[in-house]
Chain A
Amino acid sequence: MRAEAKLGLALLLTPLLLWLSLLIIIPHINMLFIALRERVAVATYETSPANFLTFFREPLYMWTFVRTALMSVMATVITLVIAFPVSYYIAKIAKGRRKSGLFLLCLVPFWVSELVRTFGWMILLRETGVVSNVLQYLGLVQGPVEMLYNDAAIMVGLVYTSMLFMVVPLVTTMESLDDAVIEAGYDLGGSGPSILREIIIPHATPGIVSGSIVVFMLSLGNYLTPTMLGGKESLWFTELIYSQFIVRFNWELGAAFGFMLLILSSVIVWGMLRLTGQTLEKTMG
């Protein structure tokens, strides 16, 4: 029996180990080695931090990096602010069929690909687009307005694309908050804002954290939305990675960029978990 259990364990461990080592761990270590080498002559390489130094010394790279991080944080905050009242409504105010219907409606846009969603925003926002035409029709503007290819358009797209990943964890955590607790808050003389601050938000913290982590990750790693809605000047860090790899064939520098992105996302995720006393197992698993 013990031998059988050992065999079972070995059989079940094999796929896990193969998957994690061959597709996750070794490729990342390999990428680090590539990032840490410098081409000194044809097909001769030397270990050096040159690629990382290039990254830190070139203001355009550095600026794009910082900008991507800041805009992703902003997208996360905006998504949270928009999603919170909606999630509260679905979790606590709507009842029965209406509740499950609204929840399902929130999911629908995310069954279609991000490309389709971004395409929708392009049709709405471009110079000949729907919004521009409606504004002209209402007489609010003279002549067509171009609303694509700026930072606001990127932000609209990022928030839209990430909405689901905020709403679902928020609804799930807020559903577990007993109505009686909120009623007790009112009985004890609390007002709307103080109940929100002292009862609802603390209770929803796990949902806020896991939603924010996912939204931040998705924005940071997004390529499609900044390219399509932000145009050529969108300066998104993933575009730098893409151009080093696919356009310029400078894999060493591209790998260094990839590593910087990985470090940034890990630090922010770790910091967020630390700050709120959550663990990865609890928020993701």
Chain B
Amino acid sequence: MIPTIPQSRFVRRTYNAYIALFFIYLGLPLLVVAVFAFNDGQFPSLPWEGFTLNWFFGAERPMIGVFNERSILSAIGTSVFVGLSVSALSVAVGLSNAFLFNRYQFRGRGIFYVLMLLPLVVPGIVLGISILVFSSTAANAVWDAVKWDIEVLRPGLVLVVLGQFSFITTIATLVISARLQKFDRTLEDAALNLGATRLTAIRTITIPYLSSALIGAFVVAFLMSFENFNTTLMLVGSDAPLTIAMFDRLKEGSTPLLNAVSLLLMVGSSLLALAMLSFQRKD
């Protein structure tokens, strides 16, 4: 079944219909989320009560819009803060890992490489509880020994950042490594011949070459952090990131406010992803 081999019309039509159905299936849940953000009623469900923008801009009960809902706005702020921290940390460590595996032959390299991949095959919830247990054990040990309570080791944003960082770093490493492997090392040698030191050569030749991968890894890390749920759920303290805050509300019953937040999320992440793609296409 390739275009150069003729097929009966029936087979072709069925196949095309299947593909069309698949994309309807893919789009339908997102479409209903988006549409009900504009429903002028208390529930994101039929009957349709008319069009309104109150779930975005409304200022009084019972329709308080996203932009006037303090708790949602602060959850978005928390998520952005966590996302930026996780991205910065994991891109930095990912860059270092990429250079390590690309440039050095050392004993145990193969084992380290497999270990580096492992976080991808550990369920997120197990990563979360293991870090939770370990940090509490450490905090308790410090308390027993010197009676200091180390706040950062208790559930909270620092642990959320560390928990997400623990597996997103693997992805950052893979993205940056893929680009570094294509780098022509003679360019660095040329810089060295022209009198540059090794660090200058890397700073002026290799890092600019990697910039698109670095930005790509940063954006992917940010998106993954922003939508992470499982690991975050186990490590969260009193400041909930957006996914956790929305989950708590959804458990109590949903209003179109959640649709409005979701729609903003969809638009935001699509724009970010498109910006990244167009940036990467340029080089």
- A positions within 8 Å CB-CB of B: 4-5, 8-9, 11-13, 15-16, 19-20, 23-28, 30-31, 34, 82, 85-86, 88-89, 92-93, 95, 102, 104-109, 111-117, 119-124, 126, 128-130, 133, 160, 163, 179, 182-183, 186, 192, 213-214, 217, 220-224, 228, 238, 241-242, 245-246, 251, 254-255, 258, 261-262, 265-266, 269, 280-281, 284-285
Q: Which of A20, A86, A255, A280 is in CB contact (< 8 Å) with B19?
A: A86
State how many angstroms separate the Cβ of B225 from the closest Cβ of chain A: 11
Task: Tell me whether B29 and A121 are in contact (CB under 8 A).
Answer: yes
State how many angstroms separate the Cβ of A104 from the closest Cβ of chain B: 8
For A262, list chain B residues within 8 Å (CB).
122-123, 126
29 A-B residue pairings within 8 Å (CB atoms):
A9-B106, A23-B163, A24-B127, A30-B137, A34-B133, A34-B137, A93-B3, A102-B19, A105-B26, A111-B266, A111-B269, A113-B229, A114-B229, A115-B229, A116-B30, A120-B28, A124-B28, A130-B46, A160-B25, A223-B125, A223-B230, A241-B125, A255-B133, A261-B126, A262-B123, A262-B126, A269-B121, A284-B174, A285-B177
Task: Tell me whether A241 and B166 are in contact (CB under 8 A).
Answer: no
| CB of B280 within 8 Å of the partner chain | no
Task: Tell me whether A111 and B1 are in contact (CB under 8 A).
Answer: no
State how many angstroms separate the Cβ of A252 from the closest Cβ of chain B: 10
State how many angstroms separate the Cβ of B100 from the closest Cβ of chain A: 4
Q: Check A228/B243 contact, CB under 8 A, given A117-B30, A258-B129.
A: no
Task: Tell me whether B29 and A160 are in contact (CB under 8 A).
Answer: yes
Bound together, the chains give a CA A160 to CA B29 distance in angstroms of 10
Task: Tell me whether B134 and A16 are in contact (CB under 8 A).
Answer: no
Secondary structure at the B interface, as helix, strand, loop or mixed, is helix
| CB of B84 within 8 Å of the partner chain | no
Task: Tell me whether A123 and B229 are in contact (CB under 8 A).
Answer: no
State how many angstroms separate the Cβ of A275 from the closest Cβ of chain B: 16
State how many angstroms separate the Cβ of B71 from the closest Cβ of chain A: 16
| CB of B56 within 8 Å of the partner chain | no
Secondary structure at the A interface, as helix, strand, loop or mixed, is helix
Interface size class of B (residues with CB under 8 A): 35 or more
Bound together, the chains give a CA A133 to CA B126 distance in angstroms of 40
For B5, list chain A residues within 8 Å (CB).
182-183, 186
| CB of B198 within 8 Å of the partner chain | yes
For A284, list chain B residues within 8 Å (CB).
117, 120-121, 174
Q: Which residue in chain B gives the minimum CB-CB distance to A239?
A: B125
Q: Which residue in chain A gives the minimum CB-CB distance to B132?
A: A245
| CB of B55 within 8 Å of the partner chain | no
**Contact mask B1-45 → A, CB, 8 Å, 1/0?**
111110000000001001100110111111111001000000111
